[in-house]
Structure 1
């Protein structure tokens, strides 16, 4: 069934503060930086589990409806997932009004 709606994706890059150091210490710094950036840029924190073995930070941007999740795996790998509300093709523009993430 064609609803006339499309999925929209925004990609983010995580800058790693110390790629040569202890991976879990590095990840702690990444989560702290992303949390600070999120608060400073008026994102709403949905989930913040920094003291958990598998850390998670899930934030929501009220301006565009996107939700971004930063997650840590068992071996210290990090990944980002992003979801958006469905949009009509006419609502999608080539330039996003998303603040630049820290590097």
Structure 2
């Protein structure tokens, strides 16, 4: 029988992961925009700030909001995953009937 804690996601760990991922993604998009590659990166930056795309203000404000939204998203993913833990297939009753 699988350990119940093995299928449980930590909300804190997922929040920290989401915050880190969105912060890195935002920084990469800001760096691309600052270097002149504004193809799609400026659209992502504009989600989090109204400051000029390549400005240091956009970097600071956008990073703060990216971290916040990443943390909330990660925590929501973990909470939702844990709520649906009832849907996990344990397989123990089927294995017993196959052995008999």
Q: State whether TM-score is above 0.5.
A: no
Q: Which has the larger radius of gyration?
A: 2
| TM-score computed with the length of structure 2 as normaliser | 0.30
TM normalised by structure 1 equals 0.29
Determine which structure has the larger strand proportion and give its number. Answer: 1
- Higher relative CO (Cα under 8 Å, sequence separation at least 6) belongs to 2
